[in-house]
C-alpha cells in the first residue's frame, strides 16, 4: 500500500456500503420485492475489483454481519456469504477487469449467485425451508443493475481519487 486512503476517501467507501444497506432494507411493494438486487454484494464486488489491496474478505464479512442484523437472520449467514463473495471477486479481479461490461455483468452475477446459493442452502438446512424459484429472481436483477452500479461507483472513485 503505497498511499493510504485519506479519511475522506474511507468515508466515501463507507457511505457507498451504507447506501447499499439502506437500499437493501427499504420497503418495496411485493410485486417488485422479488426483483431487488443485492446492492451490498454489488458494491462489495466493485470495491474488491477497484482496490483489491484495501477491500477484501474482512470487509465482506463485516458487511455481511451488518446485513444479518438488518435482516434479523441467523448471525453469520450473510457474513459467510459476503466473505465468500469477496474471496471470489478478489480471485477473479484481473479477469473481471478485462471483460467487456456485458460479460462482466454476467460474471459478477454468477459470483453473486454463488454466494446467494450459499444463503439459500443455509436457510434450507437451518430453518428447513425448501429453496423456491423466487429466490433466483434477484440473481437476474444483479446482472441487469451491475453496469449502472459500476458506472456510478467508478465515477465516485475517480472524483475522490481513490486508488
pLDDT of residue 3: 79
pLDDT of residue 2: 66
∠ Cα 121 122 125 (to 5°): 85
Low-confidence ranges of the chain (pLDDT < 70): 1-2, 133
Rounded to 5 degrees, φ, ψ at 52 are -65, -20
Asked if 46 and 112 touch (Cβ cutoff 8 Å), the reply is no
Work out the burial of residue 139: count CB atoms within 10 Å of its CB; fewer than 13 is exposed, 13-18 middle, 19 or more buried.
Answer: middle
Asked if 42 and 146 touch (Cβ cutoff 8 Å), the reply is yes
**How many angstroms separate the CA atoms of 144 and 135, rounded?**
16
The pTM for the full model equals 0.94
pLDDT of residue 135: 73
Q: What's the CATH class of domain 7-160?
A: mainly alpha
The 3-state secondary structure of the chain, one letter per residue:
CCCCCCHHHHHHHHHHHHHHHHHHHCCCCHHHHCCCCCHHHHHHHHHHHHCCCCCCHHHHHHHHHHHHHHHCCCCCHHHHHHHHHHHHHHHCHHHHHHCCHHHHHHHHHHHHHHHHHHHHHHHHHHCCCCCCHHHHHHHHHHHHHHHHHHHHHHHHHHHHCCC
pLDDT of residue 130: 79
Amino acid at each position: 500500500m503505497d498511499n493510504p486512503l485519506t479519511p475522506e476517501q474511507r468515508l466515501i467507501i463507507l457511505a457507498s456500503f451504507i447506501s447499499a444497506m439502506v437500499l437493501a432494507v427499504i420497503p418495496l411493494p411485493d410485486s417488485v420485492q422479488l426483483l431487488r438486487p443485492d446492492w451490498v454484494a454489488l458494491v462489495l464486488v466493485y470495491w474488491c475489483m477497484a482496490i483489491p489491496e484495501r477491500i477484501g474478505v474482512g470487509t465482506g464479512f463485516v458487511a455481511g454481519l451488518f446485513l444479518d442484523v438488518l435482516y434479523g437472520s441467523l448471525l453469520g449467514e450473510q457474513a459467510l456469504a459476503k466473505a465468500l463473495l469477496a474471496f471470489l471477486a478478489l480471485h477473479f479481479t484481473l479477469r473481471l477487469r478485462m471483460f467487456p461490461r456485458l460479460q462482466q455483468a454476467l460474471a459478477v452475477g454468477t459470483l453473486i449467485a454463488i454466494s446467494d446459493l450459499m444463503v439459500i442452502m443455509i436457510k434450507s438446512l437451518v430453518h428447513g425451508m425448501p429453496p423456491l424459484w423466487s429466490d433466483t429472481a434477484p440473481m437476474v436483477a444483479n446482472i441487469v443493475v451491475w453496469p449502472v452500479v459500476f458506472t456510478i461507483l467508478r465515477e465516485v472513485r475517480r472524483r475522490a481519487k481513490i486508488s
